[in-house]
């Protein structure tokens, strides 16, 4: 054989080897007994074939026996409404200041509870599922307030303030004449418990909850693959350049993949219990009101949830199954998928990624080997992108500039209406449907948005039908 023939021989040898290992992939059966195809398997062996209200809230098929018992316990700790009984270790410890009364109060069915602020005009009249971040113009916090405005409180205590929301609306047309309108939110805070804050010094940043779809996989992502995406897959011809989020915490550097600003390297269980619910723990032993002028002396009740219990919550979120795609062979879905690629959505909403070789480790040391080494279809690159002026929230969060956002993973997005009964999208829920969510894309997303805008009505409709199959 000549040198070139050798090369060809080895190339073929490697190719056939690669093809073989593909064929040897585990075959996963659907409930109807047929083998699932790879497009349907959103998260490899963690895929669940569910399309109803529990589609986000079902354990992955490998959750059995002991693990299942812990999953169920974590689920209960996550969902059970907490009370202000400061000495009840299982369901007490709420407040005195809080934002929600359980994780599930905001992440109902492991999704996005409808943020009632859209209907009620704010949190003045009761509970809504959003988080309100407040910052001074210079980026620092206000005396007497932390980063999160706790707009709920237990009986006898005054909430830090209440959020009032209003909207302005503008109507636009697609080239074919179909109309769409975009609502811009405006916020105010009333009923400050202490120093009232000059509006000109105040930045209010409101977020609605994220879906928990694929949290375990997101924490197990192969960071080298993301690094390669950030380094190589910049697309100057489309004005796209994603950036990996590196966060410094406790003198170490982490890759951030969680949260709308990719500012979390873990599932924020300790932070969530402390800051969102007012439940103290080893990492955050003091009540959030401690040190503020409303010092209520509640911290003497001590730790209200143990790290072991919190690990069960971590396990619950990490072991949730990811819903399989539906109707993958439907003609409109297939056309819509082509349109998704034609609009270059996949340059940020990356269709296929992989999890690391090593199993992710939970809060208290438990390993989940099932999450390692999987091919997944999250429809995100987990990088930060400049999304333009309209979505700019005027605050820097972690390593993200105010105009940068993490590409939201789209897996499971088509089931949000079923699971949570609404179609509010984007970090603050301003988009009332998928079309509005796309039309808010600007900055690095402008080319995609324009490609979508110029499509025919049929092409746009098909693209939306495709999104609803995710
Ligand atoms: C008051 C409502 C509220 C409560 C209560 C709440 N969350 Fe959240 N959660 C949110 C919002 C809003 C976000 C989105 C934050 C952002 O923009 O990054 C979020 C984001 C998250 C994320 C990141 C999701 C992702 O896709 O990256 C995790 C994980 C999470 N929450 C877990 C919890 C846990 C665990 C609890 C209970 C201990 C909890 N949350 C309680 C509102 C809430
Ligand atoms: C430059 C990168 C980029 C491109 C290109 C892009 N997106 Fe996005 N997309 C994002 C980011 C970042 C967000 C989060 C923005 C926010 O929440 O404010 C997002 C959010 C979304 C959401 C809302 C998700 C949710 O659950 O709230 C949808 C739907 C969406 N994109 C669809 C698309 C479609 C369809 C296309 C192609 C027409 C597209 N995107 C192109 C980066 C991109």
Q: What is the pLDDT of residues 260-282, one digit of tens each?
A: 999 999 999 999 999 999 999 99
- Please choose, from the candidates 266, 222, 265, 229, the residue with its C-alpha nearest in 3D space to the C-alpha of residue 244: 229
Task: Quote the Cα angle for 298-299-303, to 5°.
Answer: 125
Whether 27 maps to a domain, the answer reads no
For residue 220, the enclosing domain spans 47-467
pLDDT at res. 26: 67
For 30-84, the DSSP string reads -TTSSBPPTTT-TTGGGEE---STTTTSSB-TT--HHHHHHHHHHHHHHHSPP-S
Asked if the model's pLDDT at residue 1 lies above 60, the reply is no
Mutate to test the pocket of ligand 1, among 77, 114, 151, 209 (most ligand atoms within 8 A of CB): 209
Atom 40, ligand 2: residue with shortest CA distance? 345
DSSP H or E stretch at residue 251? none
Give distance in angstroms: CA of 317 to centre of ligand 2: 23
Confidence of residue 4 (pLDDT cuts 50, 70, 90): very low
pLDDT tens digits, one per residue of 173-221: 999 999 999 999 999 999 999 888 899 999 999 999 999 999 999 999 9
CB of 323 shorter than 6 A to ligand 2: no
Closest ligand 2 atom number to CA of residue 452: 38
217 CA → ligand 2 middle, Å: 20
Distance 272 CA to ligand 1 centre (A): 7
Residue 237: exposure state from Cβ atoms within 10 A (0-12, 13-18, ≥19): exposed
Domain assignment present for residue 9? The answer is no
pLDDT (0 to 100) of residue 27:
82
Inside any domain, residue 301: yes
Cβ(276) – ligand 1 distance below 6 Å: yes
pLDDT at 25: 53
Closest CA to 193 of 163, 165, 162, 164: 162
Distance 107 CA to ligand 1 centre (A): 7
Between 430 and 156, whose confidence is greater? Answer: 430
Q: How far apart are CA 370 and CA 43, in angstroms?
A: 11
- Identify whether 10 is part of a domain: no
Residues 6 or more apart whose Cβ sits within 8 Å of residue 423: 416, 417, 432, 433, 434
Q: 75 CA distance to ligand 2 centroid (A)? A: 30
Q: Which ligand 1 atom minimizes the distance to the CA of 261?
A: 18
Ligand 1 atom 35: residue of nearest CA: 269
Residue whose CA lies nearest to ligand 2 atom number 10: 407
Of residues 266, 282, 244, 219, the one with CA closest to residue 43:
219
Which has the minimum average pLDDT: 20-34, 120-134, 211-225? Answer: 20-34
Ligand 1 nearest-atom number relative to CA 208 = 12
Measured in Å, residue 207 CA sits from the centre of ligand 1 at 10
In a domain, 130, yes or no: yes
Q: What is the mean pLDDT of residues 305-313?
A: 95
Residue 424 belongs to some domain of the structure: yes
Can you tell me the mean pLDDT for 317-323?
98
Ligand 2 centre to CA of 373 (Å) is 26
Tokens of 281: 């723990």
Give how many domains the chain has, as a whole number.
Answer: 1
Where residue 124 falls among pLDDT bands split at 50, 70, 90? confident
Looking at residue 300, its pLDDT comes to: 78
26: left (phi over 0), alpha (psi -120 to 50) or beta: beta
Indicate which residue's Cα is closest to atom 9 of ligand 2. Answer: 407
Percent of the residues in the chain that have a pLDDT greater than 70, as a whole number:
94
Distance 236 CA to ligand 2 centre (A): 18
Spatial CA neighbour of 430 closest among 383, 391, 375 = 391
- Start-end of H helices in 223-347: 223-232, 269-271, 307-318, 331-342
As a whole number of angstroms, the distance between CA 331 and CA 309 comes to: 47
Residue 21, pLDDT > 70, answer no
Tokens (6 digits) for 114 = 């409808």
- Which ligand minimizes its atom distance to the CA of 99? 1
Give CA–CA dist 222/150, Å, rounded: 35
Is 408 a pocket residue for ligand 2 (Cβ < 6 Å)? yes
Contacts with 290 (C-beta within 8 Å, 6 or more apart), sequence order? 298, 299
Mean pLDDT, all residues of the chain? 91
Instruction: Determine whether the shortest distance from the Cβ of 260 to ligand 1 is under 6 A.
Output: yes
Helix pair 65-79, 307-318: axis angle to 10 deg: 100
Question: How far is ligand 1, taken at its centre, from the CA of residue 383, in Å?
Answer: 19
For ligand 2, what atom is nearest to the CA of residue 210?
26
Q: Which residues pair with 203 in a beta bridge?
A: 135
In a domain, 8, yes or no: no
- CA–centroid distance, residue 128 to ligand 1 (Å): 13
Residue 287 near residue 96 (C-beta atoms within 8 A): yes
Supply 232's token pair: 């190589």
Task: Tell me which of 81, 102, 103 to substitute to probe ligand 1's pocket, judged by most ligand atoms within 8 Å of the beta carbon.
Answer: 103
CB-ligand 1 contact for 105 (6 Å cutoff):
yes
pLDDT of residue 104: 97
Our answer on whether the CB atom of 339 is closer than 6 Å to any ligand 1 atom is no
* CA–CA distance, 207 with 297 (Å, rounded to integer): 30
Cα Rg for the chain, rounded, in angstroms? 23
Residue 391 Cα: closest atom of ligand 2: 18
- Start-end of H helices in 80-153: 103-106, 117-120
435 lines ligand 2 (CB under 6 A): no
Q: What is the pLDDT of residue 117?
A: 92
**How long, in residues, is the chain?**
470
Output the six-digit token pair for 24.
């040897």
Determine the residue of 408, 416, 424, 442 to mutate for testing ligand 2's pocket, defined as the one with the most ligand atoms within 8 A of the Cβ atom: 408
pLDDT tens across 216-249, in order?
999 999 999 999 999 986 788 899 999 999 999 8
**Residue 232 within any structural domain of the chain:** yes
């Amino acid at each position: 054989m000549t040198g070139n023939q050798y090369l060809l021989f080895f190339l073929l040898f490697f190719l056939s080897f690669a093809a073989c290992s593909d064929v040897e992939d585990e075959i996963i059966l659907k409930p109807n007994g047929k083998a699932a195809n790879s497009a349907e398997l959103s998260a490899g062996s963690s895929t669940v074939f569910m399309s109803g209200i529990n589609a986000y809230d079902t354990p992955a098929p490998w959750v059995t026996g002991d693990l299942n018992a812990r999953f169920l316990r974590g689920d209960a700790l996550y969902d059970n409404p907490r009370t202000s009984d400061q000495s009840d270790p299982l369901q007490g410890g709420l407040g005195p200041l809080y934002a929600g009364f359980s994780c599930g109060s905001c992440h109902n069915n492991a999704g996005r509870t409808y943020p009632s602020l859209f209907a009620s005009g704010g949190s003045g009249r009761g509970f809504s599922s959003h988080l309100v971040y407040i910052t001074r113009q210079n980026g620092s916090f206000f005396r007497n307030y932390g980063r999160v405005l706790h707009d709920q409180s237990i009986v006898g205590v005054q909430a830090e303030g209440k959020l009032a929301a209003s909207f302005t609306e503008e109507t636009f047309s697609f080239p074919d004449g179909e109309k769409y309108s975009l609502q811009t939110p405006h916020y105010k805070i009333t009923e400050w418990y202490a120093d009232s804050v000059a509006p000109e010094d105040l930045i209010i940043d409101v977020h609605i909850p994220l879906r928990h779809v694929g949290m375990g996989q997101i924490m197990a992502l192969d960071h080298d693959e993301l690094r390669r995406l950030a380094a190589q897959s910049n697309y100057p011809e489309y004005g796209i350049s994603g950036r990996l989020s590196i966060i410094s915490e406790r003198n170490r550097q982490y890759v951030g993949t969680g949260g709308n600003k990719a500012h979390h390297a873990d599932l924020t269980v300790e932070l969530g219990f402390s800051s969102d619910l007012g439940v103290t723990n080893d990492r955050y032993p003091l009540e959030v009101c401690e040190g503020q002028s409303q010092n209520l002396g509640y911290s003497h009740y001590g730790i209200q949830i143990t790290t072991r219990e919190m690990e069960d919550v971590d396990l619950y979120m990490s072991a949730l199954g990811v819903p399989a795609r539906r109707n993958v062979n439907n003609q409109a879905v297939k056309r819509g998928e082509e349109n998704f690629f034609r609009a270059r959505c996949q340059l940020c909403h990356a269709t296929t990624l992989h999890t690391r070789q090593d199993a992710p480790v939970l809060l208290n040391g438990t390993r989940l080997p099932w999450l390692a080494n999987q091919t997944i279809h999250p429809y995100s690159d987990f990088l930060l992108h400049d999304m333009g002026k309209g979505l700019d929230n005027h605050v820097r969060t972690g390593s993200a500039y105010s105009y940068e956002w993490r590409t939201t993973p789209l897996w499971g997005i088509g089931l949000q209406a079923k699971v949570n009964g609404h179609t509010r999208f984007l970090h603050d829920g301003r988009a009332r449907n998928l079309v509005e969510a796309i039309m808010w894309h600007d900055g690095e997303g402008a080319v995609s948005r324009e490609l979508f805008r110029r499509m025919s009505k049929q092409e746009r409709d098909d693209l939306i039908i495709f999104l609803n199959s995710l």
